[in-house]
Structure 1
Amino acid sequence: MDFLAESDGPGVPMAARERLCLLALAVGLGLAGPAAGSEPAAGEQGVSAICLEESGWWVPGARAAQRSDSRRVLGAVVGRDLVLLGEEHDDADHHRWQLQVLAGLHALRPKLIIGFEMFPRRVQPVLDRWVAGELSVAELLEQTEWDEVWAHPAELYLPLFEFARMNRIPMLALNVDRQLIRKVAASGWAAVSTDQREGVGNPAPAPAAYREFLSEVHRQHASLRGGSADSPGRDPAFDRFVESQLVWDRAMAEILARSKAAGGRGPLVVGIVGNGHLRFGHGVAHQLRALGFGSTATLLPLPVASAECTGLPAQLADAVFAIPAAREPSAPPRLGIALESHRGQVLISSVGAGSLAESSGLQPGDRIVAVAGRPAADVSTVQGAVRRQPPGTVLPVQIERGEVRREVLVRFPVD
C-alpha cells in the first residue's frame, strides 16, 4: 500500500514501552512477516533503522520507517473493504486513538459498520437495540453480560459504543463464547460437534511464523499457571492451543467478511480487535484472506517513551500511530490471579507463581465469597476492590474451599 509517506530523516530517539514485550519478542523470533500475508522478498524482514517520534503516524518499511500523517494514512485505507484497528485491551490511550481514527474514517466515508471482539455473536440483537437508541448504558452492559464475557473496564469502551449509537453506525458482535475457545483448547476442534461450533467454519492453517509467536504466548500461559510447556513440536496441548486461537480468529473474520459481502461496495467495515490477532498479517487478517478478502488494512497503536531507541519491525502493520508517553500513576495492585464467573460464583482459575495471591494462600478452584467485607457479586466487583486497595494495607478476602469457608488476608506492599 502506498501511504505517500514522508521521511523525517534519521528520526528522534524514542523507545517502545515495556508493555510491548511481546512485540519485541516477536522481532527476536523473526516474525517480521508482511501485512499482506505473502512471504517477504529478500531483505524485507527485520527492524526499520529509524526510531519513532511520538504523536504521529509511521509506515513500517524494509530499511526505515517513514513518517506520515492522518490525511495520507486514512486517505489510503478508506478505500479498502476492511480496516482493522488494534489495541491492548486495558490501555485507555489505545481506545482514545481508536475513537480518533473512527471519527476520521467516518468523515471520509460516512457509511460505516464497526465490529467488536468484545461481544459474542449471540448478543447481536442487543447491539442492534443499543444502536437504535432503545437501551441505556446499564442495560447494554447487563444484557451483553459485559462483566462475565469481557471483564475489562467498560468505561474504556463506552466512548466507542456511544460514537456508534450517536451516528447510528451498526455494531457487529464478532466473537464466540469463551466456553467454545476453552473446549477447543482442551480437546481440539475435531472433538467439538457441529451444533456446538456456533456456525464457525474450519479455520485456515496457521502460518509457521504465527505458530512460533503463539508458542511463546503458550509458554507464558503455562508459566502463569505454575507449570511448564514442552517445545511446540512435541506438545499436543500446544497444538490444541493453536487451534483455539485459529477458531477465535476465524470467528471474527467470518462476521467481518459476511457483513462486507452483504454490503457490497457500500459501508466500510472496521474491526476493533486485540493486537495479538492482527500483528504481521496473521490472525484475523490471515483468515480474511482465506475467505477471499484481501483488501484489508491493519492499523496499530504503538506506545512510545523517551528512552533508548528500539526500531519498528518491518511490515508489522500497514501503519502505526506512536502514542505519546503520559505521566501515569503507579500501576494498580495486582493479586496475580485469573478469575472466571461460573453459575453466579467468582472462581479463581489460576494463581501466578510468586504472586501476592500465592504468598497469601489463595489457590486455583477457590470460590471468592466476599472482598473487603462486601459480597463478590461478579468478577468486576473483585477486580475493582483490588484496584482500589492502597499500598501497605491489608485486603480481607473471604473464600470457600471445598466445604470450608475461610478468610485470607492479602498484604499489599508499600510502593
Structure 2
Amino acid sequence: MRLLIMAASVFLCLYVSGCAVIQKLKMPTVVRIKGLPETFEIGAIVRTATGEVVSFEELMADLEHVRIVYIGEKHSNEAHHNVQLKILKALYEKDPRLLVGMEMFVNADQHVLDQWRAGKLDQETFLKEVDWENTWKFDFSLYRAVLDFIREASLKLVGLNIPHAIVEKVAREGLDALSDEERKQIAQEIDTSNEEHKAYVKTVFGTHESDEISIFESFYEAQCVWEDSMAEAISRALNNKRMVVLTGNGHIAYKFGIPDRAFKRTKASFQTVMPVAVGTEVDRDMADYFWVTPAKKQADRSRLCHRGPKRPLVGIRLKTLDQGKGVLIVGVLPKSPAARAGIKPQDILVAIDGNPVSRLSDIHNAIAGAEGASTTYLFKIDRQGELMELMIQINKTDPASKEASP
C-alpha cells in the first residue's frame, strides 16, 4: 500500500506505509481471515487470538490494560479514521493524560504541534507550518475530526516521523550514505536482523519498480530506519504514560514494524488494531484485532487531491528535486496525455504555462479545475540539459487524477 512512506516524493508509493500486503477478493461485502472458516461483515471486531467477534466494550476492556494501542489505517479510507477516533475517545475517558503519536507528522515539528494543541495556530497556519501539502499529502479532511478531538481534549500530540528525504536517500544509497547531520535525525540503533520482517518487506519491494531503488538491501535498510526512528520517538515520549499510535497498517502488520521495535526500547505492553475494508483477505496473525469497515468510497479524494476540484489525469509519476530545480518525471503512464505529448521518464518539468514548477503543489494548482471538452497546457521540459516546450492536451474523457506523487 505505499516501502510504507509519504513524502513530497513519488517514492512514497514504494514504501511499506499504510499499505499492508492484503489480497483483493471478488466479494465486496466481507473480509476473510486466513485460518478461520467464516467471513466477517462491516462492523465486525475480530479478536484474532480466539477468532471470535467481540463487542466494542469487550475490545476496550482489553485495550485499557495495555500501555500502547496501535491503530492502523489505509490512509485514504475515511472509515478507518472513524475507527481511530472512536477508540481514541473511549481511551481518553479512562485516561485523560493519554498521549497520541501520529506518523503523519515529523518529530522535528514538535514545537508546531505543541502550539497547535495550545490553540495558538489556526488550521491554515498549522497546515502551512507542518508543510502538510508536501510531507503528507492526503486529504486533511480525513484527519480533521481526530485532530480536532486531540486539541479539544488537550491531549499531547507527538510527531513520530522523520524527513522522508532521509528515508529515500537510504533506499537509494544505503545507510552509510547519510551525513552526520542526517544520522542525528534517525534512531541510534537500526535493527535489520529480523528475517520475517525482511521477507514481508520483500513482498512489497517485489511489487514496485524503480530505476533509483533497485537494490533490495538498501530498500530494506530504509524501511528499518523509518520504523526504528518512529519507535524511538515513541520511546522518548512515553515515560510513565499511555499512548495511542496512529499509523499505516503496514507499519503494524505482524508487529515487527513499529510495535516490536518500540517494545524493545520501552518494554511497554501493547495491542494492535487493524481496520480492514470489505473485499480483502488478511493473515490471522497480522494484528491482535481486525475491525471490518466499508471500502473507500469511489468519491473519496486520494493523495495529492486534498483540496479543490478534481484534477485531470496527466499520467506522470513525480519526484521533487532540490528547491528551484523543478520536478523529476520518473514514470509516464502509457496512452496518457503526457505520453501522447512525448514526455519521457527522466525529463525535468520546469514550468507549466510559464509558471515555474518547483514542488508538486505547483503542478496541482496549475491543472486544477480544467473545464470544457479539452484543455491544453504548455509544459517546459529540461531533457538532459536541453530545454523544450511540449503541449499537453487533456480531454474531458481522460480519467480524473488518481496519480500518486507517484
Q: Same fold (TM over 0.5)?
A: yes
User: Aligned pair 1:55/2:50, yes or no?
Assistant: no
- How far the C-alpha of 1:355 sits from its partner, in A, is 6.3
- How far the C-alpha of 1:211 sits from its partner, in A, is 1.4
Q: How many residue pairs were aligned?
A: 358
For the aligned residue pairs, the C-alpha RMSD in angstroms reads 3.1
Secondary structure, counterpart of 1:103 in structure 2:
helix
Aligned with residue 380 of structure 1, among 361, 380, 392: 361
Aligned with residue 165 of structure 1, among 151, 164, 183: 151
Which residue does the alignment assign to 1:16?
A: none
Q: Give, in whole Å, the separation in 2 of the partners of 1:276 and 1:153.
A: 20
Q: Which amino acid aligns with 1:321?
A: W
Q: Give, in whole Å, the separation in 2 of the partners of 1:205 and 1:315.
A: 21
Note the 1:261-300 alignment, pairs <5 A: 261=239, 264=240, 266=241, 268-300=242-274
Q: Give, in whole Å, the separation in 2 of the partners of 1:392 and 1:98.
A: 42
Aligned with residue 320 of structure 1, among 269, 283, 290: 290
Distance 1:85 1:326, change over 3 A: closer
Q: Give, in whole Å, the separation in 2 of the partners of 1:249 and 1:84.
A: 13
Note the 1:206-221 alignment, pairs <5 A: 206-221=193-208
Which residue does the alignment assign to 1:351?
A: 331
Q: Which amino acid aligns with 2:237?
A: S
Q: Give, in whole Å, the separation in 2 of the partners of 1:361 and 1:94.
A: 40
User: Aligned pair 1:108/2:102, yes or no?
Assistant: no
Q: Give, in whole Å, the separation in 2 of the partners of 1:184 and 1:206.
A: 17
User: Aligned pair 1:370/2:352, yes or no?
Assistant: yes
Aligned with residue 196 of structure 1, among 159, 182, 192: 182
**TM-score, structure 2 normalization:** 0.78
Q: Give, in whole Å, the separation in 2 of the partners of 1:123 and 1:384.
A: 26
Aligned with residue 406 of structure 1, among 389, 394, 400: 389
- How far the C-alpha of 1:205 sits from its partner, in A, is 2.4
Give the percent of matched residue pairs that are identical in Structure 1 and Structure 2: 22
- How far the C-alpha of 1:218 sits from its partner, in A, is 1.7
Q: Which amino acid aligns with 2:387?
A: V
8 Å Cα contact 2:357/2:363 also seen in 1: yes
Q: Which amino acid aligns with 1:408?
A: M
Secondary structure, counterpart of 2:65 in structure 1:
coil
Q: Give, in whole Å, the separation in 1 of the partners of 2:398 and 2:163.
A: 39
Structure 2 runs not aligned, ≥5 long:
1-17, 25-32, 302-309, 400-406
8 Å Cα contact 2:45/2:56 also seen in 1: yes
**TM-score, structure 1 normalization:** 0.76
Secondary structure, counterpart of 1:48 in structure 2:
coil
- How far the C-alpha of 1:141 sits from its partner, in A, is 1.0
Secondary structure, counterpart of 2:127 in structure 1:
helix
Note the 1:125-144 alignment, pairs <5 A: 125-144=111-130
8 Å Cα contact 2:172/2:212 also seen in 1: no
8 Å Cα contact 1:203/1:287 also seen in 2: no
Q: Which stretch of structure 1 is more off in the superposition, 66-75 or 334-343?
A: 334-343
Q: Which amino acid aligns with 2:380?
A: I
- How far the C-alpha of 1:171 sits from its partner, in A, is 0.8
Distance 1:291 1:323, change over 3 A: same
Note the 1:241-260 alignment, pairs <5 A: 241-260=219-238
- How far the C-alpha of 1:76 sits from its partner, in A, is 0.7
Secondary structure, counterpart of 1:22 in structure 2:
coil
Q: Which stretch of structure 1 is more off in the superposition, 111-120 or 246-255?
A: 111-120
Structure 1 runs not aligned, ≥5 long:
1-18, 26-44, 230-236
Q: Give, in whole Å, the separation in 1 of the partners of 2:208 and 2:284.
A: 27
Aligned with residue 278 of structure 2, among 299, 304, 307: 304
CA deviation vs aligned residue, 1:240-299 (integer Å, no higher than 9, x gap):
1000000000111011122112xx1x3x21111111111111211121132243511111
Q: Give, in whole Å, the separation in 1 of the partners of 2:388 and 2:281.
A: 52
Q: Give, in whole Å, the separation in 1 of the partners of 2:295 and 2:259.
A: 29
Q: Which amino acid aligns with 1:396?
A: Y
